[in-house]
Amino acid sequence: MIVKGQHSRIKIFFLFATVALLALSFMSYVRIKNLIDESEWVDHTQAVKSELDKTFSVLNEAESNERGYMLTKDSAFLLPIFTADTDLNLHLSTIASLTKDNPSQQQNVSELRTVVFKRLDYLKKILDDAPTSSITTQRWLGGKTLMDDVSKQITKMQNEENKLLTVRSATLNKSATA
């Protein structure tokens, strides 16, 4: 037979064990939630960088197709140039959405949008003038200067994202090893 005092001690032991298990479960939940949140911020930063790369790639492809058209006069080179507007708007909108929490990057997105579309407009003007006149070296260099501006702006934005990535990765690693 179990003595009444022993029965009470067993109840108290199970109560403490249950409370301890609940506390450990809650602490584990919070830690895992924090790890997931920090991991999502790292992924978020990578997504911004990827969209920046895609933006540059679309513009670079349009520029390559411009040269292809100028050399061959084959209209197949024109389609990627005329669809570049849509693709660039999509990538820039995605970047703007991803960086809405960062005022500095929002300003950078605005500047990037300006230089990207200046370059694309310049490219289209050269194509418009191609049938009626020869394009001077100076005009080609103007396009290069605009593309350099795009590259600088993307690099500026990627550098800021790299800083964020460094901080976020360190936080994630610290949390994972703690």
pLDDT at 39: 80
pLDDT at position 167 is 83
Predicted TM-score (pTM) of this structure: 0.80
- Going from the C-alpha of 28 to that of each of 36, 173, 178, the distances in angstroms are 12, 17, 12
- What is the reported pLDDT for 10? 86
d(CA 117, CA 111): 10
Close Cβ partners of 114 (under 8 Å, ≥ 6 residues apart) = none
Q: Six-digit token pair at 115?
A: 């230089």
| Contact status, residue 26 vs residue 87, Cβ threshold 8 Å | no
Specify the pLDDT at position 3: 62
Identify whether the C-beta of residue 117 lies closer than 8 Å to the C-beta of residue 87: no
Residue in 128, 138, 88, 133 with CA at minimum distance from that of residue 112 = 88
* 65 phi and psi angles, rounded to 5 deg: -70, -30
Taking 50 as the pLDDT cut, the residues of the chain under it are none
**Would you state the pLDDT for residue 2?**
55
Residue 133: phi, psi to the nearest 5? -155, 165
Report d(CA 38, CA 87) in Å as an integer: 30
> What are the tokens at 3?
């003595």
Structure-token match 């809405």, residue found: 100
